[in-house]
A and B are shown apart, each in its own frame.
Chain A
């Protein structure tokens, strides 16, 4: 997923699901930042 504002890329997000479908990981890459955010979600 690519997020834009005014045509400019703000970030790109990779989303993956664990094999058992219970955990969802979103890795967010932002321009100018060395390390991505790694967000981990659990299914409710």
Chain B
């Protein structure tokens, strides 16, 4: 008798979970609206004399000579900065010789804003594209300043799928060329492992113009 009651409870619980999942309004496919999304970023660039600068993208400064040569950077990467013109720098980060990202930085004529045409190159051959506009704050001249973004435009489309997970939970699935990662949640306060590959891999977000994605 007890066994039958328990079985009925399990069946009833499953049915409730399935009904909850079917009705959950988060379930569906969602596309990022870049026109109203904000992903504020900050970076600090400090002149150390001559053509040596300190770059702080993610809390750890990297000091290099801006001569276009690859130099040791954070977490096993190299960083290079090549001045193409007085108002244009090309910033590249590599790991094991492979190009991970390129930022083309252009100063406005009055030096008040910096635009970063940020491109990140994925293992599968796709490119993640985002444009940032920063406003100068604090002192400094030329590229040296504390820069705070005032506009971030994601050019690459970004889609998030939300599905039912184990009855009454939800799976948030970033299924884009640049990343395939699933975050599973149940509303019980417990931790559930992520699945798949985040696009930032072993590197921290925002480290090198290194951007953050919605689902990093």
Q: What residues make up the interface of A, taking CB atoms closer than 8 Å to B?
A: 1, 3-4, 15, 17, 21, 24, 26, 28, 32-35, 37-44
Contact = CB atoms under 8 A, between A and B. Distances in A.
Interface size, B (range): 20 to 34
Most B-side CB within 10 Å, residue of A1, A17, A40: A40
Interface of B: 25-26, 28-33, 36-40, 42, 59, 159-160, 183, 185, 191, 194, 212, 214
Given A1-B183, A1-B185, A26-B214, A37 B28 contact: no
Contact of B37 (A1, A21, A39): A39
A40 B110 CA distance: 33
A37 B38 contact: yes
Contacts of B159: 44
Nearest to A21: B25
Contacts of A17: 25-26
Contacts of B29: 43-44
